[in-house]
Structure 1
């Protein structure tokens, strides 16, 4: 504790925006699932998110924070500080990995490093990391394994044991249940362990498909999106410009780019209102416009409800007098999703949209709008697939209020940031095995001022989609396409390919991507099983 106070005092002397914290801070990381960059009000959105907006107003907003473009690799990067491919949690050629890959023994999760320093560790919500939760270092867990029905607890696990759903689940809603469990953990902590700090990982499933929401939440947005995705993109972009969020133009819609996976049988089940391409809104039939606007209303309702539940979580922290000395992070695991499918219980077209009997997905039209101003969607490593809000709120440690941070940063940076804040040295050996250096960087200096964190690169690979960012330059390609080169200092929309006019930079960055790929392959190969990636897992 003395070392932490000295660290914060030192930073306070060199950067006045950081305040001293007398005690070890608590840490809460809140993760949304399939939420677009512009879905929050404080990032230009039209959905009511007052609680998250207030956290941003009293903290920091990162404008260039990245995920991995997909659910499970992001969770691996977040909890280990490594690129998911390094720890077998995203596929590499001929090495397997992916949604069913198993981490190496040394690839420990954050709680294993916090527990020796007195932290209690809690998990509420989606897991999607290999292995069970408690052996990964958590003291309590609600594992939301049921990701196909927001209105039932069937299939979930608490402390790694199956949950027995209530006979009457008429009041059950998964997003609310996540925070019910989180609050229960916090109340117990306050009663029994108030002398210890805590880390709480709150991982919502929403607004991931199926689009399920409470009727009263859907009603708030029923007619809000009838003007279509073209208008929504323009309105959100204008608001982002007013906020000074980023310097770019609005990306163009790509009518030729549909869902990443094609399920023709699902389209038949969903009926003539479904559209699997982001064509101009005016080209849709009246039936299609109503159907699409309704789906977006449900997506908005899911985000709205998540914010309401986050408000309850914040109220609990206030009741414990812990809000000021809790570092709260909020982000999304990937961009909004263009996927269209029907899984789990199927889809009843006669049922009320958003109810348990329906299975709807947002699709590429409104996904493009949710990812404003960027191109593409979840699974792609263009900006729309990998860009997420990052809100950081910590009144006891950050004096800045409502400021933006523009440093390029990534999920791999969260572990080193937390370790740096706490002045914890990560072990170099685990059970006799050396722990390889991790690629993440601490963002603690950016808590004090808007400065760029020095790093060689940020790197992506997912299902053949590839990218690397060095400074403001980004090299990117979708699987099967040619490399494209963009200057993100003015073109986050990835609208102006500079590959032909700057071939030297193109070659330099291709070589850099390849070198990083080789290093990642070398590390992953040490303990990899020689088998192809599991295709079924890739569809999760």
Structure 2
């Protein structure tokens, strides 16, 4: 009987079962790259994002949703439901792992659980997960491996095969190409597979550096930021208060905190307009002010164009009469970036800013503004590095559109949420290997009401930066620094360190952080990568 039961399980779970699309919702997960918490209009921003704002007004906005502070760990957490360190996709002390790490066989991606339910699975955009795309369970893929030039398809892959770029790429722009591919997949789906539901993972590169944007998009923002990052932060913070996003004061700028990696040669190449510290705007030279305002204009143009393309994607779903029965998620893989570097062909100081021959990065001044009201940036695990908007739009399943959801949540929650919606139970083993418990929680109860999803903790570790959140308490430290303690109930901006007032709470949370570290190391050590894999992937 036990053998028969096992046989039935294998048949039911692994055999595709065609399910009418009307019976199960389609799922679209849209991921931005290096976008700040306040870059969308519906999160207090000044950039034109009407399509995403409309999704928010007809859906839900989560105010305390978290990523992992970096691109590849977030993608692993999103698609597996595990902390990236558990599946070798972020480094652990003494065990390696990171951007070059290989997941365990049991660390399956979401399509492996959707395909047996009849879902078609599509991927358009950045990948940055180990292995090729189609063997990971996707039926079609545009893998944008060229992340150094938004104006060329060179180096990208279509269905895991190298793309031969067109001889004339004058009309090519990566953000548009992502949605061109997504729409092509959806049109084919409507034509050939309309009786099946679909999952579509749409992963933009933008607004990740290099700051590349279409001239007409840049022109709309050219002079919008000449008053500087100080004023921009104040204006965004005021709008956030009007929107009721959170109760906190605005964090102070940290003029001593620059990029996470120092490239002095890059600063020389970029010229006297570049500055790698977020000092008061009035202390910049006129040349620096113009240079920095231009960079922010390009960043805004990239976000604006992404929103325009998302509008085309939404129009396609409407044309298929599938918008109401599609769950659309939107988030960012980490906070805005303070990085300043030059790579992928270099930077021509005589080229038009934002063009293919230029190589510009946002830098810590306007990154601080994009992460309003928080401190720090991508790679840090202070709120500025790990906080992201999360918009959820699902007309058929969300009955109170336009509301906020205050529950703390994390990328590891996306997989269990989707599985919960679809009534899918993960098996206890994969190919005879036990599947360890995953840390994520289903957010489905929060779709119905603004309730807190109960959990023990949320945990972070990236390049020596570490944090733990238990309830409203957060313990956090940058690499090499002492622990800081914050009450996020009233201080999301991490402005008032309470470590000295509550040493017992510091000890309590530190013990929890250490227990999670040890448990993660024990799990990862069973299949630890070779020591030659000590380094993370090239810093993306």
Q: What is aligned with 2:145? A: 145
Cα separation, 1, equivalents of 2:532 and 2:455: 32
Cα separation, 2, equivalents of 1:296 and 1:459: 32
> SS of the residue aligned with 1:392?
strand
Q: What is aligned with 1:420? A: 420
Cα deviations by residue, 1:316-355 (Å, 9 ceiling, x for unpaired): 0000000000000000000000000000110000000000
Report how far residue 400 of structure 1 moved: 1.2
Q: What is aligned with 1:315? A: 315
Q: Is the 8 A contact 1:98 1:538 kept in 2?
A: no
Deviates more, 1:22-31 or 1:83-92: 22-31
Report how far residue 535 of structure 1 moved: 3.3
Q: What is aligned with 1:135? A: 135
The 5 Å alignment of 1:141-180 reads: 141-180=141-180
Cα separation, 2, equivalents of 1:85 and 1:52: 31
Report how far residue 94 of structure 1 moved: 1.2
Task: Mark the CA change 1:128 to 1:340 in structure 2 (over 3 Å): closer, same or farther.
Answer: same
Report how far residue 426 of structure 1 moved: 0.7
Q: What is aligned with 2:349? A: 349
1:537 aligns with 2:537: yes
Q: What is aligned with 1:120? A: 120
Q: Is the 8 A contact 2:125 2:142 kept in 1?
A: yes
Q: What is aligned with 1:13? A: none
1:279 aligns with 2:296: no
Cα separation, 2, equivalents of 1:272 and 1:101: 39
The 5 Å alignment of 1:65-76 reads: 65-76=65-76
Q: What is aligned with 2:14? A: none
Cα separation, 1, equivalents of 2:443 and 2:245: 19
Q: What is aligned with 1:358? A: 358
The 5 Å alignment of 1:285-434 reads: 285-434=285-434
> SS of the residue aligned with 2:389?
strand
> SS of the residue aligned with 2:53?
helix
Report how far residue 429 of structure 1 moved: 1.0
Q: What is aligned with 1:42? A: 42
Cα separation, 2, equivalents of 1:123 and 1:275: 37
Report how far residue 427 of structure 1 moved: 1.3
Report how far residue 162 of structure 1 moved: 0.2
Cα separation, 1, equivalents of 2:28 and 2:440: 19
Cα separation, 1, equivalents of 2:132 and 2:123: 12
Cα deviations by residue, 1:54-89 (Å, 9 ceiling, x for unpaired): 000000000000000000000000000000000000
Cα deviations by residue, 1:176-227 (Å, 9 ceiling, x for unpaired): 0000000000000000000000000000000000000000000000000000
> SS of the residue aligned with 1:65?
strand
Q: What is aligned with 1:509? A: 509
TM norm structure 1: 0.96
Cα separation, 2, equivalents of 1:126 and 1:364: 24
Structure 1 runs, 4 residues or longer, greater than 2 Å off: 532-536
Cα separation, 1, equivalents of 2:262 and 2:533: 19
Q: What is aligned with 2:261? A: 261
Report how far residue 539 of structure 1 moved: 1.9
Q: Is the 8 A contact 1:80 1:415 kept in 2?
A: yes
Q: What is aligned with 1:463? A: 463
Cα deviations by residue, 1:456-476 (Å, 9 ceiling, x for unpaired): 000000000000000000000
Q: Is the 8 A contact 1:95 1:532 kept in 2?
A: no
Q: Is the 8 A contact 1:338 1:365 kept in 2?
A: yes
Report how far residue 22 of structure 1 moved: 5.7
Q: Is the 8 A contact 2:148 2:210 kept in 1?
A: yes
Q: Is the 8 A contact 2:78 2:411 kept in 1?
A: yes
> SS of the residue aligned with 1:404?
strand
CA RMSD for the aligned pairs?
Answer: 0.9
Cα separation, 2, equivalents of 1:533 and 1:86: 16
Cα separation, 2, equivalents of 1:473 and 1:339: 29
> SS of the residue aligned with 1:199?
strand
Cα separation, 2, equivalents of 1:454 and 1:536: 33
Cα separation, 2, equivalents of 1:401 and 1:464: 40
TM norm structure 2: 0.96
Cα separation, 1, equivalents of 2:533 and 2:228: 38
Q: What is aligned with 2:18? A: none
> SS of the residue aligned with 1:496?
coil
Q: What is aligned with 2:11? A: none
Cα deviations by residue, 1:273-330 (Å, 9 ceiling, x for unpaired): 0000000000000000000000000000000000000000000000000000000000
Q: Is the 8 A contact 1:93 1:532 kept in 2?
A: no
Cα separation, 2, equivalents of 1:273 and 1:340: 13
The 5 Å alignment of 1:181-220 reads: 181-220=181-220
Unaligned residue ranges in structure 1 (runs of 5+): 1-20
Cα separation, 2, equivalents of 1:24 and 1:224: 44
Deviates more, 1:21-30 or 1:263-272: 21-30
Q: Is the 8 A contact 1:64 1:409 kept in 2?
A: yes
Cα deviations by residue, 1:403-438 (Å, 9 ceiling, x for unpaired): 000000000000000000000011111111111110
> SS of the residue aligned with 2:376?
coil
Cα separation, 2, equivalents of 1:448 and 1:504: 37
Q: Is the 8 A contact 2:98 2:536 kept in 1?
A: no
Q: Is the 8 A contact 2:72 2:128 kept in 1?
A: yes
Q: What is aligned with 1:61? A: 61
